[in-house]
Amino acid sequence: MKDPTTIGNAIKAIAGGVTGVTTATLGQNMLPSTPAAEVWLDRGTLQQAAAGAQPNHTEAHAFIVAFYVPLQQNLEGDEDTIGRLATELINTIHAPAFDASLGGIVEYTRCTAYATDVMVRNGLSFRVATIDVETGIY
């Protein structure tokens, strides 16, 4: 099995490269300076599929990339910022020139879903966008 931390750090580097992101962490950052990105390991699967007479082992690791923007008086501006961060990450990963192998760590990387929400952490309110990023090996 591939080390999920190695894969997560590669995704963290991508999320940290999104324009305007000031902090990117693997795991939760209790007091992020914002806009911030966090990369969480969500789930993994280890499967075996028949491939003729030989077993074919596959694995997939799913991560959540969360972007945080503090809620301000200008809620429309917060919405623009969180939407731009999510869009840039998704477009980066789906771009034809993107190395979906993450430098040879996996065989594919793709965004599969996104969601937005408002959350409170340590008494501070944040607008949050989460992007599901799936990686795998066939």
The Cα 105–Cα 136 span in angstroms is 9
Distance of CA 131 to the CA centre of its chain: 5
Which residue(s) pair with 131 in the sheet?
65, 114
The Cα 116–Cα 85 span in angstroms is 12
**Among 68, 72, 63, CA closest to 86:** 68
Residues ≥6 apart with Cβ < 8 Å to 15: 21, 24, 37, 39, 65, 67, 89
The Cα 75–Cα 72 span in angstroms is 6
pLDDT tens per residue, range 22-40: 999 999 887 668 899 999 9
pLDDT of residue 49: 61
Largest CA distance in the chain: 63
Name the fold adopted by 4-137.
Alpha-Beta Plaits (3.30.70)
pLDDT of residue 71: 87
If you average pLDDT over every residue of the chain, what do you get?
A: 90
Residue 75 has pLDDT above 80, yes or no: no
pLDDT tens per residue, range 96-106: 999 999 999 99
Domain boundaries, the chain: 4-137
